Amino acid sequence: MSDSTLSCSVEPDLLATAQRIADSGELGSGIVAIDGPSGAGKSTFADALVTGLARRGRSAVLIRTDDYATWDDPAAWWPELERDVLAPFHRGHDLAYRPRVWIDGVPRLGPVELLRWAPLLILEGVTSARSAIAERLARGFWLDGPDSAARLTRAVARDGEDQRPLLAAWQRFEEGWFAVDGTRNRCELLTS
């Protein structure tokens, strides 16, 4: 469920925006969330932002909600992220968490990932800027991407035609989640 393979289909303006933000020095510490619907280019934007920050000598820890979310549990895993990532981050400790791995289409807890603490934590993915974290965010970015049909096409190209029904159901979940949570209204809108 990651957008990382979509770099060629994400508008160059969005990548330029990531570079501009990285170069600006605006992101020094705290938590930054990059949210929006699937297929909007969030992962590609996050990768460009982290790369741009690194070029400026500023390290960041990048955590993707895809490391937690599953088709059957698209959002209720948040307490695990709070325990394994957010609490240690706020204490200035290194992070240890277990991302999901998919074996024969079934999600399972993977091996422990150890990440060195950095003053900037970037959360990328659907529900990353949810209301539960809104007051703790240094910045929240929202990417709309193209219309839902084009985003579904992107997601199917990334994950495979056999995943189309699950991806379409995921889009319906997102629409409901974002409508109730009001996520987009709290974030800075990034357009391409």
pLDDT tens digits for range 145-172? 999 999 999 999 988 999 999 999 999 9
**What CATH code is carried by the domain that includes residue 50?**
3.40.50.300
Distance CA 191, CA 43 (A): 15
Q: How many domains does the chain have?
A: 1
How far is it, in rounded angstroms, from Cα 169 to Cα 114? Answer: 32
Q: What is the pTM of this model?
A: 0.91
| Distance in angstroms (rounded) separating the CA atoms of residues 129 and 55 | 26
Distant-in-sequence contacts of 94-97, Cβ < 8 A, 24+ apart: 95/61, 95/63, 97/63, 97/67
Cβ-based neighbour number of residue 114 at 10 Å: 9
Asked whether 151 and 52 are in contact (CB, 8 A), the reply is no
Tell me what the mean pLDDT of segment 51-60 comes to. 95
Q: Tell me the β-bridge partners of 102.
A: 107
Tokens 């990531």: give the residue: 18
Residue 33, H or E segment: strand 30-35
Domain around 138: 4-190
Give residue-wise pLDDT tens across range 112-123.
999 999 999 999
The C-alpha angle with vertex 67 and arms to 80 and 14, in degrees rounded to 5, equals 120
Q: What tens digit of pLDDT does each residue of 137-149 get?
A: 999 999 999 999 9
Tell whether the model's pLDDT for residue 10 goes beyond 80: no
